[in-house]
Amino acid sequence: MTVLRIATRGSALALAQARWVAARIETQLARKTELLTVKTSGDRLQGISLAKFGGKGLFVKEIEEAVLEGRADLAVHSAKDLPALLAPGLAVVAWPQREDPRDALVARERGAGLQTLRAGVRIGTGSVRRGAQLRALRPDLEIVPLRGNVTTRLQKLEAEGLDAVVLACAGLVRLGLADRIDERIPTEVVLPAVAQGTLAIEARADSALGHSLAALSDRDTERSALAERAFLGHLHGDCNAPLAAFAEGLPDGRLRVRGLLSSTDGRTLLRGEAHGVDAVATGAAAAQQILSRGGDRLLEELRREAAR
């Protein structure tokens, strides 16, 4: 039986995620695996604004090419890095169970919370979404742009004199750094990125392997991911736009989808919320509410701003 080759980025977090999926494949599907590390354009463009060069899709392009060209059989992505449209011929064939989707505050002064930080303190983040929501919530804080992997960002907390950094809870948990989290910020306070905390297993569409890998999918995670990505797709969004969405199951079986679109300075903030059974339709309905409240004009302003 052939060994399944798993394409992944080479960061510590990406490798931890790929190894977790590999262990699931070996246990549940009884297939041997090996990792193929791929350096993406996003990894090479350190210190440069990704928005001007294609956004978060830069972390995916070369990995998808490895699968399409047959150098790998499948790929493991952080789902929040996936663009709204996948490369033709590929599909997400499994959505494993979601890790904590919330954002995490990591403070230099242990035990601090977002609401208890002193006025004027410096918070680092590499996310326009986080930056916009933080500015809207606490305009008295100084938001400092921050790039690099999880370990690098934690090191910059001290090296660059920051008072706190905001990262994804999921990444810290998967790297065994959960004890470094000072606050798991409620989704009612800061809405997460689309599919944050979710892994996406991608393979060639309609392949026998893809059907086998579907056994690794978690139904609730899949519904939430499809709803949140429908929100993203309906807005034609990417990482140039401070947008967020979070889908959660309700006791009656329906999904609740909350979405947000903001100006980068956080002064304009549009929200939408929809409830429904169909994941894609519900995500799109939340996005349509935002468009009807001026979202189309705001998106155009954001595109002009990104092009400068």
* Catalytic residue annotation: 81
Rounded to an integer, what distance in angstroms lies between the CA atom of residue 193 and that of residue 237? 12
Rounded to an integer, what distance in angstroms lies between the CA atom of residue 232 and that of residue 228? 6
DSSP element (H, E) containing 280: helix 279-290
Query: Tokens for 71?
Result: 């150098």
Q: What angle do CA 199, 285, 129 make, to 5 degrees?
A: 50
Query: Tokens for 205?
Result: 């569409």
C-alpha distances out from residue 65 to 45, 118, 181, 202, 210, Å:
18, 47, 36, 12, 17
Strand intervals (E) in 70-170: 74-78, 90-94, 103-107, 122-125, 142-145, 164-168
Q: What angle do CA 43, 147, 42 make, to 5 degrees?
A: 20
Rounded to an integer, what distance in angstroms lies between the CA atom of residue 160 and that of residue 111? 20
